[in-house]
Chain A
Amino acid sequence: MSLDTWQEQLRRGGLDLAILLTVSTGPLYGLAIIQHLEQFTDLVVTEGTIYPILGRLTREGLLAAEWVEGEAAHARKYYRLTRAGDRRLAQMKADWRAFTDKIGRLIDAADQQGLVRS
């Protein structure tokens, strides 16, 4: 696997979690979610590909979507976290932390052994 492929998998792996975390702050529409993600991460490579992911998370029952008229010149589709989404997010956060801790320990151990060897 090339480095590019690995980085793309890593990005995709984090994107669902990043979107759920963003929406957990309160109901947000697509562009606001993208702007929030862009503010904290570089996970959004192509803005248009975020919308299909929002659609999938909605179909999976993790998000609920609702069109709101009159707030701006054009209707906005707002997303909010459902109860199932809340539960999934808690699990994903725990999994992510556990994973990064394990990999972090591995990196530390490898660095330490490298130092001892050199």
Chain B
Amino acid sequence: MNLALVSTVMPHTNRQTGTRYRWALAAVSVLVLVFTLVGILSAAVTTAAVAVPLVYLLYLYDLNVWQDTPARVVGAVIVFTAVLGVLVALVFYRWAFADQFTQLLQSSSSQLGLDTLPVGPFLLFVVVLPIVATLVMNIGPVWLARRPEFDDMIDGLTFGVAAGTAFAATETIVAFSSVFSGSFRTTQGLTTWIAIIVSVMIVKSFVYGTANGIAVAAFSGKGEGYDGFTGAYVANVGLEILALVAYWAGIRLLAYADYGAWFGVVWGVLLLAALLVRARRYLHAALLEAALESAKASQRPRAAVTDGGDCPDCEMPLLPDAMFCVACGQSVRATSGQARGALQSPGVGNVA
């Protein structure tokens, strides 16, 4: 099983282009940790929340997947999800359920431990909020995936990840906004903050993004057009809700334990690994089925991008018209339908 994070959530990358985003993620992570270690919590929280969405936006712009034309549309969907994320977070953390949030956080540091767990607030933030978040995170990407130029599964996955990370970022900023009122710099209690920053910067961002990407990819579905609100989409939305509920249940319950924030990181990483396996298996199966159906019909796949050669990832030979490497599963059709359309225009490509 392949757990490669970047190549899963950034499916248009190959070995060469994927490496630059790994470097970018590593560089911003180091910078965020520096903010944390020197105790500037307001900067640490802000940058931790936006680190992954920022690199993701860079990825979308850099690879120019959709040939610039719909850049505003894609950007608008991300901004739309972020704005909804702010509203949802404000309702839950500040406006309607601030007392419940306070009870939950006060309880996690109780001298009496798990016995003081407030059941109502726990269910509100561990079950209800993830359900609302899932629905909100799906609105923009699903609307986008219905458009003919964005109806490939790989597009749905990308939009879903982008929206998921944007929602996670805004929720984090609202939930942690109190740090803007503290000391400019602190040296006390930073050990826990390192765990929290790692958790909200990497783990939470990718858990939200991957879970949402899987659901929207199911909406896009295989073959021509999009599948829409099928049973597979509903099942994957259910999986997304389940993943977020499991993530928050683990985070909230582990907060009662010694070193709970660090155990929360471990729990999130395990969950993320499971989601990545699911995302990759889902994509590979879909691509395989589409390729086999095309081969069976003796038609050149719509997504055909190569007449042969070697896989850019594992360097094993590629079959003619392959959309993925049969050896390692790397997608070699890492481009959008719109780009293919341009390449398949007369005088641009050499598609038969």
Partners in one complex: no
Interface residues of B (CB under 8 A from A): none
A interface, CB within 8 angstroms of B? none
